[in-house]
Copies of this chain bind each other. A is one copy, B any other.
């Protein structure tokens, strides 16, 4: 499989690209993360979102622990070719590690951040670390 399309992406000095994950159908923004070249290649080839975890410094197959994988419907690149937008079906309906549908659950109301999305599943029940 040709990977010349990966060369079009303007990677940061660290070899990363910011990625916005959006839900197919609702178009809600689920999360924001980063990919390196290998992560983007795997995302395209496997049809499931694979990110680069900057905190763990390794590839991160979204849902590898939780089962909440993201099935990729579309991969887009912006005008400057330095931001990726993916449309995904969020398995389990939970994209956020807090157990919420998406990560953007804090809304600015006047001068305060207010949480306006429920926890669907307790993180302790999602992640079973030994």
Tell me whether B32 and A29 are in contact (CB under 8 A).
Answer: no
Tell me whether B83 and A106 are in contact (CB under 8 A).
Answer: no
Number of interface residues of A (CB under 8 A): 39
Number of copies: 2
**Would you call A62 an interface residue if the criterion is a C-beta within 8 Å of the partner chain's C-beta atoms?**
no
Tell me whether B28 and A77 are in contact (CB under 8 A).
Answer: no
**Would you call A66 an interface residue if the criterion is a C-beta within 8 Å of the partner chain's C-beta atoms?**
no
- For residue A29, which residues in chain B have a CB less than 8 angstroms away from its CB? 20, 22, 27, 29, 85
Tell me whether B22 and A77 are in contact (CB under 8 A).
Answer: no
**Would you call A60 an interface residue if the criterion is a C-beta within 8 Å of the partner chain's C-beta atoms?**
no
Interface string of A77-120 (1 = CB under 8 A from B): 11111010100000000001110100111111001110000000
Assuming A5-B113, A22-B29, what are 5 further A-B pairs, CB within 8 angstroms? A26-B27, A76-B106, A76-B108, A79-B105, A79-B106
A residues near B (Cβ < 8 Å) are 1-5, 8, 18, 20, 22, 26-29, 31-32, 44, 74-81, 83, 85, 96-98, 100, 103-108, 111-113
